[in-house]
Structures are given as structure tokens and as C-alpha cells.
Amino acid sequence: MTTVTAYAAPSATDPLVKTTIERREVGPKDVLIEIAYAGICHSDIHTVRGEWGPISYPQVVGHEIAGTVTAVGSEVTLHRVGDRVGVGCMVNSCRECENCLAGEEQYCLNGNTGTYASVDRDGTITQGGYSTHIVVVEDFVLRIPEAIPFEAAAPLLCAGITTYSPLAHWNAGPGKRVAVVGMGGLGHMAVKIAHAMGAEVTVLSQTLSKKDDGLRLGADHYYATSDAATFTELANTFDLIINTVSAVIDINAYLSLLRLNGTLVSVGAPAEPLPVQVFSLFGARRSFAGSGIGSIRETQEMLDFCAEHGIASEVEVIAGEQINEAYERVLRSDVRYRFVIDIATLA
Ligand SMILES: [Zn+2]
Ligand SMILES: [Zn+2]
């Protein structure tokens, strides 16, 4: 075991504090990563506060990890010391269920092993990326292309893949009208990626306060959902709507914006149900779907796509001691568009 510095939540209600945690020895198939940056995802906050169910403490979160390989196990073939790498929302899966064998291990029927607050294969609780180092089995480690700086790459490992996967699955591209609901950490990446895929992109945001940013990041149109006229003007318009909002919205109003055979995909996760009127679907053979992160293969494809198209996350870099303040700002949607912790400040 190796002792490393980290920021951990001591309980559901206390602020995160600087502490130390143990990382396992590098096994034959493991990679040791010196973390350079870790993104702050809304899920981190839900998790440490016990809002998605009880967890054990202390808990280190963070599943948007970018850094450098500093050691590899004897049987590792995919990564070498010095490689630029990333780790996202999962660090393992059963590898034998139908979904794992299909290369969709994010949907592992036995539950993928989350990067934090999850029971690891050795029975310990996984600890995430707000930490100087992490040990991860090699096939759950991604290659970060040279073209993407570490701090802008980190959020791609969750916010990037969570939006890339449904955009790719539902064939966003030339001739397709895509709407993105919400202009936060996920939404701003959905705009950039959908635009890079060649789709016509519309942002649906509560207000027009981020309109300039939205257009700069690749949106063709930008509408305020607080204006009821938006819903009449855009009725029957979109092939695909990516809903990134994790609060309850009037889902039937958004479904009415889909054209024939259109799909609304939720990637934001409100704790409460979203009541769907089936009549909202009948009228134009619409679908209401969900999508969770993406596979390792697809995450690599997303990183390579972003490098090729010169896109990455818009970030605000902070020091470790600013994490608690950053959490409050995330809850107020006061971030453009992702906080990323400079892990060098933990030393
Ligand atoms: Zn996340
Ligand atoms: Zn599985």
C-alpha cells in the first residue's frame, strides 16, 4: 500500500478536508497514475452528501481524472511510463456478462465498478480523483491525445463521454437538428460535440445569459425556455434532444419539440420521477430515452474525436482548498463550465 494525499468528505454534512488515503500496490495488470487535474462533477456532490444513497466515510470523489503514468505492472501492455492518460467514471466491470462481452461495460449486468464509492474487486471502497495518485487496471485507462491539455481533457472523461455517447448512438450529424437542454458542464460539451459532428445545434436554456458563449461554442440557435413562445415556435423541430438538466423539467413540453421519429435522451439525473404523458409520444412516434456515460472503447473514440476537431472543455482551474467553495458555486450553476482541481496544489 502507498499513502497519498487527497481531499475527502468526512461525512455527509462536513466540508471536504485534506487528508491521506491508501492506494493498493501496483498489481501485474495495474497502472499507477500521477494525477495532474481532476474535474468537479455534480455527481461528486450528490455522492458525498449521501443524496444518491448512503455511503461510507471518509470518501474521496472525482471521476474526471487526467495525469501521467508513473509505474506499470509486469503484465501491462496498453500503457507505458510517461504516457498521458485519463480515468473516467468506472475502473472495472465483471467482463463476462452479455453487456460486457458486447463492449458496453458501462451497462455491466453485475454493476460496473465506479471510480469512487463503489465496492472494488478486492472488497475495498474505491476512492476517486481528488488525490495525487490512483491505481487502475490497465484496460480502464484511456489515452489522452497530445493535442488536449490535461486540465481541458479531465472533464471529457465524464461530461464529454456522457454527451458524446448519445449523440453518436442517435446519429447526430449533417442534416440532423439537435437541441441541447441546459448550458452547464454537460450541456456545453454537448454543443461542441454535436457541432463538430456536423449537426444543426440549438441550445434551450432557462435564460439568454449564456447565449454569447453558446454561439461561440458552436450553437446555431439559442432560445430561452422561460419564454413560452419558444415552445410554440419550435414545435416538431428536432431529431434529437439531449436533456442535461438534473432538475425536474416539464418533459412533455420538450417532447412536443421532437419531429417525427425524434428522440429525447436524458443524461441529467433528477432524484424525482419525470412524468411522461404517453400522448406526448403518440403524435409523432417519439421516443423518450436515457443514456449513461459510455464504454471504454467509445470514450477513447471521443477523446480522439475531440483532439481531431480541436475541442475540449471550458474550465476554471482551482486549488484544492477551493473545492468546498466550488461546490457551492456548482449548486448555483455559477461556473463556466467545469471546475478542475490543480492536483499540484495538494502537495
Ligand atoms: Zn460525472
Ligand atoms: Zn459485466
Distance CA 167, CA 328 (A): 30
Could you report the average pLDDT of every consecutive run of 10 residues in the chain (347 residues)?
A: 96 97 97 98 95 94 98 98 98 97 98 97 95 98 98 98 98 98 96 98 97 98 97 98 94 98 94 91 96 97 98 98 97 94 95
Residues of the chain with CATH 3.40.50.720: 160-290
pLDDT on residue 1: 86
CA of 164 to the centre of ligand 2 (A): 22
pLDDT on residue 291: 97
Distance CA 43, CA 138 (A): 24
63 touches 88 (CB < 8 A): yes
pLDDT on residue 347: 82
Buried b (16+ CB within 10 A) or exposed e, 176-187: bbbbbbbbbbbb
Counting ligands in written order, the one closest to the CA of 101 is 2
CA of 105 to the centre of ligand 2 (A): 6
pLDDT on residue 246: 87
Q: Which of 3.40.50.620, 3.40.50.970, 3.40.50.720, 3.20.20.70 is the CATH number of 160-290?
A: 3.40.50.720
Pairing of strands 177-181, 200-205: parallel
| Coil, helix or strand at residue 326 | helix
DSSP code of residue 330: H
Counting ligands in written order, the one closest to the CA of 158 is 1
Homologous superfamily (CATH) of 2-158+312-346 is: Medium-chain alcohol dehydrogenases, catalytic domain (3.90.180.10)
271 closest CA partner among 52, 6, 22: 52
pLDDT on residue 52: 87
82 touches 68 (CB < 8 A): yes
pLDDT on residue 166: 98
For the chain, the farthest-separated pair of C-alpha atoms sits apart, in whole angstroms, at 62
CA of 155 to the centre of ligand 1 (A): 8
The alpha-helical segments, DSSP class H, found in the chain are 42-48, 98-101, 150-153, 159-169, 185-196, 211-217, 229-233, 251-255, 278-282, 296-309, 323-331
Residues of the chain with CATH 3.90.180.10: 2-158+312-346
